[in-house]
Amino acid sequence: MPPMQIFVTRKIPAPGLEILRAAKVEFQVAQEQENAGLDPAELAAGTGQSSVLLSLLTEKIDRRLLESAPRLLGVANMAVGFDNIDIDAATELGIPVSNTPGVLTESTADLTWAMLLGVARRIPQAHRYMCNGEYKLWGPNLFLGSDLGPGPDGRRKVLGIVGYGRIGAAVARRAQGFDMRVIAYDPHNSAGIAADPQVEGMGDLNEVLRAADFVSLHPLLSPETRHLISTDELRAMQPGAFLINASRGPVVDEAALLLALREGWIAGAALDVYEREPEMLAGLESLPNVLLLPHIASATWDTRGRMASMAAENALCHLRGQVAPNAVNGEVYASDAYRARQARQSS
Ligand code: DGY
């Protein structure tokens, strides 16, 4: 039986599906419901019978799954992050993997700022207060929060950016409007930081943590960045500082963060992502100094449509044996494993 051409794990936004329809390829959307995913058996069955997998960050694409799919020609992940995929295994097996970079940079930076402002000015708490009918009389001490602009002493607030890729840089750009001093640390992009006149590069993470009033996290998740922020790092932050995470949950040790927030090591945290997503550590929800969102940093109509389109274009490249413009393991195309896989498909 010939393999299904493209296996789309879950319902992606319409622009992506339109591209697949217009290309007249055979594809299947395995899960149409918004709130449901695929179980591992369904994912394995679909992947094993398909030429291309169009996946979301909710699917764990590990070595076992990839090994069980000898006819798979590529994985198009509809996300900029690809920590859900074992890239080393894919490369070894000759499978190109692509992502959707660039198109979500601005919306993610926007939401990072919404989180920063929201937690600093206690917007969720004030909203709840209104909805609960608790607002009876205006008072000068009602929901006092932190300023973003310079204080009475003229000191500019410091925004510390950890991970200075596209999104980190877009977050930094927006800080100019608030007259903030921006410092950044990224051991993989010190050249990018040095080239940006608006940003001061820091030699190590602790320098950023000690100096910042707001710490915003934007690294890729890797073994190196797992629990990048844990007890020592939270202890290094100022008691009046806020932590914002719109990158990946495991970058922060959630248990350490819970303790830090409970004991007032830092002033507050805004999280869009969680260590064991979609679960979050019990106790976070009852803290007075958090803002918690369900991984929506790129959730705008336009951005999600563009991500879906980009993933669909990547999937078509994988299907046609063309180099995908957004391959994250581009070296795979020169490998024997890749050539063998292509040859197997056409035999
Ligand atoms: C990504 O693309 O990696 C985001 O987390 C979801 O948009």
CATH class belonging to 4-102+301-346: alpha beta
**Ligand 1: nearest atom to the Cα of 273:** 5
Cα angle 346-60-115, degrees, rounded to a multiple of 5: 125
User: How many angstroms separate the Cα of 91 from the Cα of each of 54, 61, 311, 329?
Assistant: 17, 13, 19, 7
Pick the catalytic residue from 248, 304, 318, 341.
248
Q: Is 64 a known active-site residue?
A: no
Q: What pLDDT score does 344 carry? A: 86
Q: What percent of the chain has pLDDT over 90?
A: 97
Q: Where in the chain is the domain with CATH 3.40.50.720?
A: 4-102+301-346, 105-292
Tokens 């993989």 appear where? 188
118-136 pLDDT per residue, tens: 999 999 999 999 999 999 9
For residues 310-337, give the mean pLDDT: 98
Q: How confident is the model at residue 329 (pLDDT cuts 50, 70, 90)?
A: very high
Closest residue to atom 3 of ligand 1, CA basis: 81
For residues 1-28, give the mean pLDDT: 93
Check pocket membership of 298 for ligand 1, CB cut-off 6 A.
yes
Amino acid at site 328: V
Interval between CA 55 and ligand 1 midpoint (Å): 12
Interval between CA 300 and ligand 1 midpoint (Å): 12
128-184 pLDDT per residue, tens: 999 999 999 999 999 999 999 998 999 999 999 999 999 999 999 999 999 999 999
For residues 222-246, give the mean pLDDT: 98
Q: What pLDDT score does 1 carry? A: 62
Q: Which two tokens stand for residue 266?
A: 């830092």
Distance CA 61, CA 58 (A): 9
73-128 pLDDT per residue, tens: 999 999 999 999 999 999 999 999 999 999 999 999 999 999 999 999 999 999 99
Q: What is the DSSP track for 181-239?
A: EEEEE-TT-HHHHHT-TTEEE-SSHHHHHHH-SEEEE-PPPSTTTTTSBSHHHHHHS-T
Pick the catalytic residue from 71, 166, 295, 320.
295
Mean pLDDT score across all residues of the chain: 97
Residue whose C-alpha is closest to residue 325's, from 335, 337, 315, 336: 315
Q: Is 127 a known active-site residue?
A: no
Q: What pLDDT score does 345 carry? A: 80
Check pocket membership of 77 for ligand 1, CB cut-off 6 A.
no
pTM, two decimals, is: 0.96
- State the CATH architecture for 105-292: 3-Layer(aba) Sandwich (3.40)
